[in-house]
Amino acid sequence: MNFIPVPDPIPVQWWWFQAFLLLLFPIHLLAMNAMVGGLGLSIFEWFRGGPANRRVAHTVAVSLPVVVAFAVNMGVAPLLFLQVLYGHLIYTSTILMGAFWILVIPMLIAAYYGLYLYDFRFKQLGGLGVIIAIGALALLVVIGYMFSNNMTFMTLPHLFSEYFDHMGGDMLVSWHAMFLPRFLHMMAGSVAIGGLFVAVLGELKRKVDPEMADQAKSVGMKTFFWVTLLNIAIGTWFLLRIPGDSKMIFLGAKIWPTLLFGVAILLVISALLASRRQRLWPTVVLSVLVIYVMTFMRAYLRGELLQGYFYPSTLKVTCQYSPLVFFLAVLLFGMGCIVWMVRITRKARVKA
């Protein structure tokens, strides 16, 4: 019996949606990493307790509500493109883990509210504020856990038939050999990029508070360096746990994934060297490039895991281009609004 639903037709060729997914997902990923990793470092600096450390914690706290809003909004488009291409798989995995998945939105709302308290009541709440921040961080990590489960589950359609043993929507794939290293790889990456985010925030306020800027850069760059070194080990573990021969596409079986893997290694080494020398902006640029390259690797791995089940090129095309044109117009307008809002927010923060 086949438990994979028949996919819906798409309006234009599949590679349009794949291109937009590869373009926009890293932006969401950067914001998500800044949100989770930045919050973790803010809590860490608060507990260190020095005047400069507390000012670093406060600087990050002030930025977090905006970062969360940006991360959520920039995650909508990639999720929609994923659903267009792999809707019959992602909807199925979502339903099968629905009892857990339905909690994502309430947890996000609670975390978002907690971050607003951490921002606007930072000084008044004191220790209570950092406890709220820890609670918000825990919620965000759990949300990441749910997303990792769903993104892994959708690439394992042979498990869909186990629904009959879990008819309450309580299926998770946390037990799968690939899940834990994948989840830890993402979380460690969040901490590393969060370190860069903290360093950048400090650098932007260098004229106002040079002591805080120095502390932010120091803790941020050190965090990026050491956590990235750790993440190399976790990434190697993840590679080894990819099932069957799928891992071999990065080890010579297919030229483009192998080339991307080699480029990723070179970029990571270059980023580590730049961070070790405290060169902030080159480290930032190299890290963004790493995330884009790894997004392409992620797409290749998803395609390889789904071999024999589905590939987007098999989707039926109805040749309706007007929705794509309308989307592009709205996307450009929306991006312009985001740029405008960021500028307005920065001006308001400076005046405050």
- Give the start-to-end residue ranges of the domains of the chain: 14-160+167-311, 324-352
Which residues fall within 8 angstroms of residue 298, CB to CB, at 6 or more apart? none
Beta-bridge partner residues of 317: 10
Alpha-carbon dihedral 240, 245, 246, 250, rounded to 10 degrees: 70
Tally of CB atoms within 10 A around 42: 29
**pLDDT reported for residue 347:** 73
Q: What is the CATH number of domain 14-160+167-311?
A: 1.20.1630
Give me the pLDDT at residue 7, please. Answer: 87
40: which 2 tokens? 């973790």
Residue-level pLDDT, tens digit, the chain, 352 residues: 567 888 889 999 999 999 999 999 999 999 999 999 999 999 999 998 888 999 999 999 999 998 998 899 889 889 999 999 999 999 999 999 999 999 999 999 999 999 998 888 887 877 888 999 999 999 999 999 999 999 999 999 989 988 888 788 899 999 999 999 999 999 999 999 999 999 999 999 998 899 999 999 999 999 999 999 999 999 999 999 998 889 999 999 999 999 999 999 999 999 999 999 999 999 999 999 999 999 999 999 999 999 888 999 899 999 888 988 888 898 889 888 878 887 887 776 555 5
Residues 241, 178 contacting (CB under 8 angstroms): yes
Report in angstroms the alpha-carbon separations of 145 from 32, 121, 286: 13, 29, 27
At 290 the pLDDT is: 97
Write down the pLDDT at residue 352: 53
pLDDT at 269: 97
Residue 286, CA distances (Å) to 250, 257, 346 in order:
21, 19, 25
| Length in residues, the chain | 352
With H, G, I as helix, E, B as strand and everything else as coil, classify residue 10.
Answer: strand
Report pLDDT for 350: 55
Separation of alpha carbons 349 and 352, rounded Å: 5
